């Protein structure tokens, strides 16, 4: 464990600004830890070209072509788990978490293919903002065991590096994503939201708040509309990421 090295690099990030300065130093840090590969990317929306959102990266030769040809993006367990993760996770843990996924067998084949191409294991660090999941930094290669304290510092590094690279690559998008969300929920909406996050149904929430089911649904529809969420599960996920609930 080398906490001092990570702490020093975190301070260095405050002094550097352009990719030509940032990336060589970041790669030197990864080499020290034994990570051979990495990618920094914005979070794609449905049907968006993933490769077009990569801000920086270093992968095994030929792997991006294999990944695209076999359409691994559709079933990649690290990508699937990233949509639900609130903190950093190890690649192999994502496969364990998705044990009941109907595409589990194909996921396992993808992981074997990745290992055969030099990607034995790694870590993914989600980058969240006021608008939810914005992107991630993934590091990997040979299996490396990070101490929890190191993972925490790597998360901080990932967030700083992501914003630095995004600001350079697309200043307008950086401003857009970092802007505060103008969201105001009423007291009743906040109460209903917190009970929803606790797993309560509309009927249970109505009983606790002493209101009708229809009124609860009215509040829920209002929250969903304000968050631009697809459904109630999406409401809870976005609320956690926006810091509305904890």
Query: Which candidate, 178, 147, 151, 183, places its Cα nearest to that of 163?
Result: 178
> To 5 degrees, how large is the angle CA 128–CA 241–CA 87?
60
d(CA 111, CA 175): 36
Asked whether residue 127 falls in the same domain as residue 225, the answer is no
Q: Among the three residues 128, 159, 178, which one is the final residue of a domain in this structure?
A: 178
Asked whether residue 149 falls in the same domain as residue 204, the answer is no
Asked whether residue 12 falls in the same domain as residue 75, the answer is yes
* HEC sequence for the chain: CCHHHHHHHHHHHCCCCCHHHHHHHHHHHHHHHCEEEEEEEECCCCCCCCHHHEEEEECCCCHHHHHHHCCHHHCCHHHHHHCCCCCCEEHHHHHHHCCCCCCHHHHHHHHHHHHHCCCCEEEEEEEEECCEEEEEEEEEECCCCCCHHHHHHHHHHHHHHHHHHHHHHCHHHHHHHHCCCCCCCCHHHHHHHHHHHCCCCHHHHHHHHCCCHHHHHHHHHHHHHHHCCCCHHHHHHHHHHCCCCC
pLDDT of residue 173: 81
Asked whether residue 207 falls in the same domain as residue 107, the answer is no
Asked whether residue 61 falls in the same domain as residue 93, the answer is yes
d(CA 44, CA 140): 20
The HSE-up count of residue 75 (CA atoms within 13 Å, CB side) is 15
| Tokens describing residue 21 | 């300065």
Asked whether residue 30 falls in the same domain as residue 88, the answer is yes
In a domain, 84, yes or no: yes
Asked whether residue 117 falls in the same domain as residue 223, the answer is no
Asked whether residue 163 falls in the same domain as residue 208, the answer is no
* pTM for this prediction: 0.76
pLDDT of residue 11: 92
Measured CA distances, 97 to 31, 43, 67, 109, 232 (Å): 29, 21, 22, 16, 21
Asked whether residue 67 falls in the same domain as residue 140, the answer is yes
Asked whether residue 138 falls in the same domain as residue 66, the answer is yes
Asked whether residue 38 falls in the same domain as residue 153, the answer is yes
Residue 170 belongs to domain with CATH number: 3.30.450.80
**Phi, psi at residue 37, to the nearest 5°?**
-135, 160
Which residue range is the domain that position 205 belongs to?
A: 187-241
Give the total number of structural domains in the chain: 2
In tens digits, the chain (246 residues) has pLDDT values of 778 899 999 999 999 989 999 999 999 999 999 999 999 999 887 566 777 899 999 999 999 999 999 999 889 999 999 988 889 999 999 999 999 999 999 999 999 999 999 999 999 999 987 667 889 999 999 999 999 999 999 999 999 999 999 999 988 888 777 765 567 889 899 999 999 999 999 999 999 999 999 999 999 999 999 888 899 999 998 887 777 776
In a domain, 31, yes or no: yes
Asked whether residue 93 falls in the same domain as residue 211, the answer is no
Q: Among the three residues 178, 203, 224, which one is the final residue of a domain in this structure?
A: 178
Q: Among the three residues 135, 151, 178, which one is the final residue of a domain in this structure?
A: 178
Tell me which long-range contacts 148-153 makes (C-beta under 8 A, separation of at least 24).
149/1, 149/3, 150/1, 150/2, 150/3, 150/6, 151/88, 151/123, 153/3, 153/6, 153/7, 153/10
Residue 222 belongs to domain with CATH number: 1.10.10.10
In a domain, 246, yes or no: no
pLDDT of residue 84: 81
């Amino acid at each position: 464990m080398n906490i001092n090295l990570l702490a020093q690099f975190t301070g260095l990030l405050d002094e550097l600004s352009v990719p030509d300065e940032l990336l060589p130093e970041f790669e030197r840090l990864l080499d020290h830890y034994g990570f051979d590969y990495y990618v920094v990317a914005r979070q794609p929306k449905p049907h968006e070209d993933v490769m077009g959102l990569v801000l920086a990266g270093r992968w095994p030769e030929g792997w991006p072509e294999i990944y695209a040809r076999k359409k691994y993006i559709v079933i990649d367990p690290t990508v699937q788990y990233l949509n639900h993760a609130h903190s950093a996770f190890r690649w192999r843990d994502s496969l364990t978490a998705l044990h009941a996924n109907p595409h589990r067998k194909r996921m396992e084949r993808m992981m074997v293919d990745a290992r055969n191409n030099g990607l034995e294991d790694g870590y993914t660090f989600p980058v969240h903002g006021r608008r939810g999941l914005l992107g991630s930094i993934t590091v990997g290669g040979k299996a490396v065991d990070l101490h929890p304290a190191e993972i925490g510092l790597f998360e901080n590094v990932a967030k700083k590096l992501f914003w630095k690279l995004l600001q350079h690559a697309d200043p307008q998008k950086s401003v857009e994503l970092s802007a505060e969300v103008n969201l105001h929920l009423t007291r009743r909406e906040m109460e209903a939201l917190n009970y929803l996050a606790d797993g309560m149904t509309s009927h249970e929430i109505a009983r606790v708040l002493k209101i009708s089911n229809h009124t609860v649904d009215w509040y829920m529809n209002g929250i969903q509309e304000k968050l631009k969420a697809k459904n109630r599960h999406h409401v809870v996920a976005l609320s956690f990421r926006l810091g509305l609930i904890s």
